[in-house]
Amino acid sequence: DRGVRIAPLAAQIHGKTIPFLLATLSGAVFLVLLIACANAANLLLARGAARANEIALRTALGASRPRIVRQLVTESMLLSVLAGVLSLPCAVWVLQGLLLLAPHGIARLDDASIDSRVLAFSLGLSVFTGLLFGLAPAFGVSREVRDSRQTARVQSQAMRRAFVITEVALAVVLLTGAGLFIRSFVAAESVDPGIRTERVIAATLRFPNQLPRVRRVALYRDALQRLGELPGVSAAGAVSTMFYNIETGNFGLRAVEGRSETRAQWRPLTWSTVQGDYFQALSLPLLRGRFFNNRDTRDSTPVVIINETMARRYWPGEDPIGKGIKGFDPRGHNDEWVRVVGVIKDMRSGGIERSPISQIYEPQSQSLDETEDLVVRTDLSAGALRKAIQSVNPEAVLLGVTTLHQRLREQTASRRFQTFLLGSFALLAVALAAAGIFAMMHYSVAQRTREIGIRIAVGARPLNVLKLVVGEAFVLVASGLTIGLMLALVLTRALRSMLFEVSPADPLTIVSVIVLLAGLGLLSSYLPALRATRVDPTLALRCE
What is the per-residue pLDDT for 262?
A: 55
What is the per-residue pLDDT for 221?
A: 84
Q: What's the number of CA atoms in the CB half-sphere (13 Å) around residue 69? A: 14
In sequence order, the 6+-apart residues with CB closer than 8 A to the CB of 331 are: 368, 369
Which residue blocks in 147-208 are alpha helix, DSSP H?
149-189
Average pLDDT of each block of 10 consecutive residues along the chain (544 residues)?
53 57 78 82 71 71 74 79 81 79 67 77 80 69 55 67 86 89 84 82 83 81 84 86 68 71 61 87 90 86 89 86 74 70 85 78 82 84 82 79 82 81 86 84 74 75 80 87 90 81 88 89 81 69 57
**Among 301, 231, 305, 249, CA closest to 275:** 305
Encode 455-504 in three state secondary structure: HHHCCCCHHHHHHHHHHHHHHHHHHHHHHHHHHHHHHHHHHHHHCCCCCC
In contact, 126 and 61? CB cutoff 8 Å: no
pTM score, two decimals?
A: 0.75
What is the per-residue pLDDT for 1?
A: 44
What is the per-residue pLDDT for 146?
A: 55
